[in-house]
Structure 1
Amino acid sequence: MATVELSFSALPVHVRTARLIVTAVARRSGVAEALLDEVRLAVGEACSRAVEAHRRRCPDEPVRLELSGTGRRFEVVVSDAVSADDAASGLPDATPLASDDTGREQLERIWGGDTAELGLAVIAGLADDVDISATPKGVQIRMSWPVESEPSPA
Structure 2
Amino acid sequence: MATVELRFSAQPEHVRTARLVAAAVARRAGVDEAVLDEVRLAVGEACSRAVGLHRSHGITAPVRVVLIEGEKAFSIEVGDEVPAAGGDAGNAKASPGDLQESDAEGEDEMGLAVISGLVDDVQVTADDDGGVIRMSWPTASAVAPARS
- TM class by shorter-chain length? 0.7 to 0.9
Corresponding position of 1:123: 115
The TM-score normalised by the length of structure 1 is 0.78
Match of 1:43, SS?
Answer: helix
C-alpha deviations, 1:100-143, integer Å up to 9, x for none?
Answer: xxxxxxxx97932x323321111011112000001221010000
Whole-angstrom CA distance in 1 between matches of 2:46 and 2:79: 9
Instruction: Give the RMSD, CA atoms, in angstroms.
Output: 2.3
Corresponding position of 1:83: 83
1:95 maps onto 2:63 in alignment: no
**Corresponding residue to 1:132 among 99, 124, 133:** 124
Q: CA deviation at 1:41?
A: 0.1
The TM-score normalised by the length of structure 2 is 0.80
Equivalenced residue count is: 132
Kept in 1: contact 2:31–2:137 (CA 8 A) = yes
Corresponding position of 2:104: 111
Structure showing greater radius of gyration is 2
Kept in 2: contact 1:58–1:81 (CA 8 A) = no
Corresponding position of 1:6: 6
Q: Percent of aligned pairs with the same residue? A: 57
Whole-angstrom CA distance in 2 between matches of 1:117 and 1:9: 22
Kept in 2: contact 1:58–1:82 (CA 8 A) = no
Whole-angstrom CA distance in 1 between matches of 2:64 and 2:70: 19
Corresponding position of 1:104: none
Q: CA deviation at 1:36?
A: 0.2
Unpaired runs of 5+ in structure 1? 97-107
